[in-house]
Each structure stands twice: as structure tokens, then as C-alpha cells.
Chain A
């Protein structure tokens, strides 16, 4: 019996030390799921790139419900993962509570910039800059002078997308109409492709011929419906051009993969206690060009958009960020 206890004790000690010594990074995906062909999948791609380049290993968790957030976070931190990266603003409050309990663990959170803790790296994206560029492209491609925007859950972050987009549209064509819709006010708004498709049809009925979907899994329905109806759509977060070749004008890229990759690469040396802003200037956002949309984007369109991108990078052109004052000069929500 005593021998058994000793063995158990030794095993437990070994497990503890090995956990600390390994310090594998970990990532937690938000409710949209690891393969949402969008935000979370970009994070996954970044983690996989790190794994392929370094040969290291990492832990991952996928949220299944709101209630699991704190438990999941604590479990990874207790298991010795370091740094722990999480995707999505919804982790903000939970992380603020958990981070002080694990002072030696470093956390990185994407899409949050309002926390204050020495061991958290917050990564914010200038989505309004990327959205501005695709907004310009939408206005340049539109023949009716009306373009659409379909957001997922109605939160300030998604309004930031919509606001940047509307500004880009108005920059090209001040008389253009931007039809704006949000899918819903609950997290299920990220996973309702049927409603997304109906919204796209409703926007087409209002004259929209280019629709930008910033709505996670709901966006799949928007892109599908736009392709069925013979109008153009714009993807978001990951490059979604391949979903309907020749029918997706472009995609607003949010390089979550770069953010995750850099956090993983820094490992335990991750610089925390700061907000890292990823914008056009440091390749945090952009628009997607590949063989699937080459026929849709004329050289003039690309030139106009690249010109604006250059101006935003140099600071000559300022795109208004909805989240700074909760208002938008180009659109009303």
C-alpha cells in the first residue's frame, strides 16, 4: 500500500514537473468553431504554421457553450500551457477574472483592448481599415450604386466593420446607398446561414449588387445566396474567394493567423501588459487577391484601392473607428 502511495506520488510529481517544463502554447477557439472558414480557422492556420515550422506541439480547445469559457481557460492554465491564446472578444471578462490567479502564465487575447493586467497581451485589429478598402472595391464594382453589408451579432466590433466599409463606399461614390443589416443579437447569429441567405435576397431586392458579409458561419449563407442570385459578395477574416470562384469579389483579410503565429513563436518571452494593434501598416489586415477573383478586379480598381492603402499606411488618410466614440460618419446603425 505504501509502495503504491509512493508510486502515485512520484507519478503526480512527474506529471506536475513535466507540465511546467514543456510549457506548450495553447489556443482556445470561440463558439464559431475551429473550421468556420473564417475567424477561428485563421487562428488555427496560424497555430498550424507554427507547428510545421518549429515542430513543436500545442494544445487546443473548442468552446461548445458560453458556460465553458472560464473552466476551459483555467484548465489550460493549470495544465501549464504558456502562453494561452484565445480568439474573440467574448473571453474578455472571463480572462480579466482568471489572469490574476495565474501570474506566471502569459495570455494573449484577440479582438480585445480594454483589459489591464501585466500578464495579458491584447491584440486589436484595425478592421475598419481593411473594410474601408473592400468598401472601395465594392463601390467600384457596383453597377446599381447600392451595396450591402450583413453583420453577424450586433456588437460594436461588427459595427466597426460596417462603418469602415461604408466610409470606403462613400469615398468612391458619395451618392451610393449602403444597406446595412445585422443577423441577430445572440451568439446564434454567427451560425444562421438560412437567415443570412434571406438577408442577402432582401438586400438584392433593395438594389444591392455587392454584399459584404462579416458574420462568421452566417456569411457562408450570404455568399451562397449571392452566388445563386448572380450578384457579388465579399468574404471576411480568411480568404473566402475560393468558396464560389468568380462570384466572390474579394475578402477582407484579418491576419489572425499572424497574431497567433507570433504569440506562439514568442512563447514564454511573449511581451505582455500591452495592446498590440495590427493594421494595414504591419500586415494585420488587407484584401485578398487570387486566381478566383482575378477576373472580377480590374487593374484600375486594384490601383485605386492600393493607392488608398498607401495613404492609410502613411497616415495621410484617417478611417474613422466606430469603437472610439460609437458613432459612424458614413452610416447609421
Chain B
């Protein structure tokens, strides 16, 4: 892991210079030279002169570039970490340069939707798995790459940057991809677990954002730990029901990427999803909240998508559908909470045989 051996090893690519993207680039740069794809020329100038981006210091082994063809030519292993809303578009640009020997491990916690012409997420009434895809499915659809994986787990960028102890999950049907991920990311402060349930792990990372908004709302109402304990445990049940309807396996939701990530996000006022919930409870209008944030909170779109999926697959998802009403149908957080507390739920666990 010394800088001497670094130049002998092939470099690794990271696409996306957001918070998580730069954090991952820094983690990788301890083991390999890293090419970081940055869209904007000016940002590259900035990085080259200051060695930092939006407050993140950049490791000296990171080279910013803005040429996807060059990135794909230099790196067999690429970590695409861009918001889910831009993911497909990015894949379309990258795809011509990819070959079946490439390995892609993404770190985006969101869903991709393809709607029929003329429809928007607001107007469409039903959503099923034909329209809703995970990022690994987008990679498979848009490119010839088959060795695909994802990064998931409680990975709050600020804590990782501060070298606090943490863990992540690399999920992939290919053991090869998992061991590549372990080799490239593992350090004395960062544990890496492997999981073969790619779709389940991706969904766990996506669905926990819904519960994170709810956790923020409870916090904004001034409620304490009992309420949060209730939310997290019921949240796990809801995530599993929704996740299974979309093709995930139960065990993916119980590990680091599921419960681990859920607990971390629900206890983290730092997270954007938590912030959305918190501000809602404070009485801010959803539109005002969206405008005030620089990066999108994935959870808002997730709520919108999952509400419609839950209807299509006839899954009981009280937290999601109530949040939907708060975000898009003018229900207040207080009314929502009253409704949920009266909801006739009385089975604790019904997903384990």
C-alpha cells in the first residue's frame, strides 16, 4: 500500500464528484491511482490548483479528468457514483467505451424509471418492475458490462472522511467483483462485507431513505427514542415487504446494507433525507424544502415511486403511503402521525417463516 507499488498497478476510475463520489475516490486512492471523472473544466482547474472539492481534501493519487473514453481505456474497474436521476444518461455516454472485461461497482442509492411518452411521475398511476429499475439493471441494459456490483451500507461521507470506523457491503452475483471491491476498499478503519444478493442490497439502500424522512419528521416533532425505536422496527418490516415485491430476498435487508444503513440514517441529522422530514415537521412546505437543498434528497422520489409500486403489487406500506400524502397531498406531519398510530397493525414480524 505504499506509493511505490501504486504506479505498477492499473488505475481505478470513479465517475461523479459529489460527496460520496469523492469520499470513495479518497478511500480507493490509498490502494491505487484513481481517475476521477469531473464534468466541468473549471472544477478540474480548481481541483488541480487546490487539491480539494467542496470541502473534501483530495488524495494526491487522484487525477481529475473529463474524458469518459480515456477513463474507460485506462481503468478496467470503475465506480459510477452519480445521482440516480442522471445515472442512465451517464451510462449512455459511457457505454460506447465499455467492454465485457470492465467491472462496474456503483454507489447510487436510487431508482431509475422509464415512463411511456407524455407521462410524468406525477401523472402516471401505476408503476411496476417494467418501469422501475435499480442502477445495476440500468448498467446491464445500457452496456455490455455484466460484472456489476454495488456499494451499500452506513457510509455517511463526513464520518468516512474523518476516518471513523465503518463498514460497507459490496453486493454482486460475482465473487470476483466482491473480492475486487474488498481488495480496493478495505483498510484498518473500513470493513468490507460481501453479499451475493445484488438486487436486495440495492433495494435496501434505496428503501431506507423513506424511513429516514420519517425519522427526521419524528425528530422535528420533538419526539424521542421510543418513537424512533418504533419507527425503525416497523420500517424494517415495511422495507422487507416492499423489497420482496420488487424481487429482493429477505436476507439482504437484515444485514449491514439493510438494518445497518437504516439505523445510521435514521440517527443522522446530517443526512438530506432526514433534513427533509425534519423541515416538514417544522411546518415548511415541500416545495420550499426542495428549493433550499443543493443536492437532491433521493428519498423524496423514492416515496413517490414506491407508493405507486405498492399499489401495483398490493403491498401494505403504511409509512410510505402516509409520507406520500404529506409530500404531495397536503397532509400535515401531525395528521400523518395520528393516522399511523391508529393504523390497525398488530403482527410484529411476519416475514420469517
The answer to whether A and B come from one shared complex is no
Task: Report B's interface with A, CB cutoff 8 A.
Answer: none
